[in-house]
Amino acid sequence: MASLSDQEIEQLAIAAVDARGRAYAPYSHFDVGAAILTNDGQLISGCNVENASFSLAICAERVAASAAVAAGYREWKAVAIASAGGVAPCGACRQFLAEFGLDLAIILVNLNDGSRRVCLLSQLLPDSFGGADLPS
Ligand SMILES: [Zn+2]
């Protein structure tokens, strides 16, 4: 795992909590914020965005990841995800994030008790499928 300083973890957690404050979740009422730390020190955040057509909802992690790519950042050190309960990314988000590297540190920020869990994406998505599995 790329080493993360306590300061980076704190900075990411704050950014994820801040992004969570902008979540649009009128249906589930489950607000989630995510913040990505790029390898060159940029912080890019996202929040979940729901829709009356439920299947169009998009998770905070994929919003942040898409924003990072759109801003020109494809190499990431870590992503923090803030929610009540400190839930781990859904399967779709694990796969989406894995496109940009399985060695991504994941920080799960639990707003219920303030705890944080740090792990690697490779731990959350073992035996993953990726571009190398496709014919060249
Ligand atoms: Zn998701």
pLDDT tens readout for residues 82-126 = 999 999 999 999 999 999 999 999 999 999 999 999 999 999 999
Ion ligand 1: residues, Cβ under 5 Å: 59, 90, 93
CATH number at residue 37: 3.40.140.10
Query: What distances in angstroms separate CA 99 from CA 13, 58, 108, 118, 131, one per listed residue?
Result: 23, 17, 20, 20, 8
Gap from CA of 134 to ligand 1 centroid (Å): 23
Gap from CA of 10 to ligand 1 centroid (Å): 22
* pLDDT tier, 2 (very low <50, low <70, confident <90, very high otherwise): low
The reply to whether 75 belongs to the active site is no
Catalytic one of 8, 10, 50, 61: 61
Gap from CA of 93 to ligand 1 centroid (Å): 4
Q: Is residue 135 part of a domain?
A: no
Q: From CA 31, how far away is CA 123, in angstroms rounded?
A: 24
Q: Is residue 19 part of a domain?
A: yes
Gap from CA of 99 to ligand 1 centroid (Å): 14
Each residue's pLDDT tens digit, 21-55: 999 999 999 999 999 999 999 999 999 999 999 99
Structural domain count, the chain:
1
Q: Is residue 16 part of a domain?
A: yes
Gap from CA of 96 to ligand 1 centroid (Å): 9
Range of the domain at 71: 6-127
Q: Is residue 136 part of a domain?
A: no
Q: Is residue 62 part of a domain?
A: yes
Q: Is residue 133 part of a domain?
A: no
Q: Is residue 104 part of a domain?
A: yes
Query: What distances in angstroms separate CA 26 from CA 10, 58, 78, 81, 94, one per listed residue?
Result: 28, 13, 28, 19, 24
Owner of token pair 């796969």: 95
Which residues, 6+ apart, have CB-to-CB distance to 88 below 8 Å?
Answer: 81, 106, 108, 124
Q: Is residue 134 part of a domain?
A: no
